[in-house]
Structure 1
Amino acid sequence: MTRQLAFDLPARQAFRRADFFESVANAHALAAVDGWRDWPGGKMLLVGPPGAGKTHLAHLWADMAGAVMVAGTALAGADLLALAQAGTVVVEDADAVAGVPEAEVALFHLHNLVVPRGSLLLTARGPVRDWGLALPDLKSRMEAAPVARLEAPDDALLSAVLVKLFTDRQTVVPPALIPWLVARMERSIDAARALVAAMDARALAQGRPITRATAQGLLDRDDSE
């Protein structure tokens, strides 16, 4: 008997402009990134739920502005002078510095090194008031940054994300499956990622193409948990 071997290959991440689908949920944030040369004070804060597209927009801006990228969790041990030399810097998950004294101090110094001579983009899950910052000077500087919010995905955005996720995995699905999924799945981009990965893994293990039945079994499992 022939056994089907499933190779769970990593999905190809695509952060090109052509892969970013504009909708009502993210149009304001996209416009803010495009207008980066006019940011008040040379800084901008992108706020939105996990998987809303903050990282994609951060990569788009890094390409446009020639920026270097650093995670908030890595700031405490980073070479701040080397980062600042680029003149344009992205700090992803900047809210992760909250409660870590060394990281808060590092973000404070990085801000002062980059702004106002250059430009600083920060991403976070929520507004600065909710971060829990302990360093007053950092809190005041972060609160002075204009905010562009990415909202939860609407139908059009969620549909486009599903198509992109399947395409990144080089997986072909029936077109009618996309609206069927949108009407039944949890309405978040993180949920879309998890569902597409699970469907792809199940189809590979079974040696069959992805169908509505594949999705239904996974959705039923999630509802029962």
Structure 2
Amino acid sequence: MPELHQKIFDFAARPSLGGEDYFVGPSNQDAVAWLDKWPDWSGPALIIHGPAGCGKSHIASVQLARSAGVLVTPALLKQVGLPEILESASHYVVDDADSGFEEEDLLHLYNGLAAAGGTLLLTAKVSPARWNSQLKDLDSRLKAAASVAIGQPDDDLLKAVLAKQFSDRQLLVDQEVISYAAKRMERSLAEVRTIVDGADKLSLVKGHKVTMPLIRDVLAIGSAG
């Protein structure tokens, strides 16, 4: 088995929404370990935080599918209202909880689901200690909740996800090309999709496989944009 393919199988792959795989590596293994404890968390809430592109939204989708939960957004709160949301399910996910949400809404959501024995996964860019919440009750609840960080993906994780997404599109790409892209791309799982999509389209335009010169062109287009 080629070395790169073996690397892929060294990661534990988790199913998520959309039929994709969620690869577990050093940067996210602590967060995944906490998800595996669900619903037996130490409290009703778990907070996962990390920089943009580290995979927080993807891991949130895994939890949504696992718990048959509801994704709570500012738009949903405005359109439906919190009482109806709390009647619709027992488990909830709030993505990017540290931006765009009214603190009172988060507090009432937390209190409501906690009283009903539900669970709440929140994702954020920074830990609760840095949210500067103006509501003391919310601040105390968030700081008491379990909190775990996700780091930026390392080269091995980026290579595994690149290889998987190229394979999903039936694109045969040499290990050398994937390694080259992983070392030079933005440290972001979101960027993987951008690179694979760009390589796929450019290979169709040029009429040949994804080669080293082609991936250099894709990376150059990305850096110029």
TM over 0.5: yes
Task: Report the TM-score range of the alignment, normalised by the length of the smaller protein.
Answer: 0.7 to 0.9
Whole-angstrom CA distance in 1 between matches of 2:224 and 2:96: 32
Q: Which moved more, 1:121-130 or 1:195-204?
A: 195-204
> Is 1:210 aligned to 2:222, yes or no?
no
Counterpart in the other structure of 2:25: 23
- The SS at the match of 1:123 is strand
* Equivalent residue runs for 1:38-57 within 5 Å: 38-57=40-59
Percent of matched pairs sharing the same residue: 35
Whole-angstrom CA distance in 1 between matches of 2:114 and 2:20: 30
Counterpart in the other structure of 2:97: 94
Unaligned runs of 5+ in 2: 1-14
Q: CA deviation at 1:45?
A: 0.4
The Cα RMSD (Å) is 2.6
What amino acid is the match of 2:191?
A
Counterpart in the other structure of 1:154: 154
| C-alpha distance 163-82 of structure 1, shift in aligned 2 (>3 A) | farther
Verify the 8 A CA contact 1:72 1:92 in the aligned structure 2: no
Q: Which moved more, 1:60-69 or 1:161-170?
A: 161-170
Q: Which moved more, 1:75-84 or 1:88-97?
A: 75-84
Whole-angstrom CA distance in 1 between matches of 2:40 and 2:103: 26
Residues 23-64 of structure 1 deviation map (CA, whole Å, 9 limit, x = unaligned)? 111110001001022212211001112222222222222222
| C-alpha distance 181-120 of structure 1, shift in aligned 2 (>3 A) | same
Verify the 8 A CA contact 2:55 2:190 in the aligned structure 1: no
- The SS at the match of 2:72 is strand
Whole-angstrom CA distance in 1 between matches of 2:197 and 2:95: 24
Counterpart in the other structure of 2:4: none
Unaligned runs of 5+ in 1: 1-12
- The SS at the match of 2:25 is coil
Counterpart in the other structure of 1:114: 113
TM-score by length of 1: 0.80
Verify the 8 A CA contact 1:71 1:93 in the aligned structure 2: no
Residues 119-140 of structure 1 deviation map (CA, whole Å, 9 limit, x = unaligned)? 1111111112333433332222
Number of residues paired by the alignment?
209
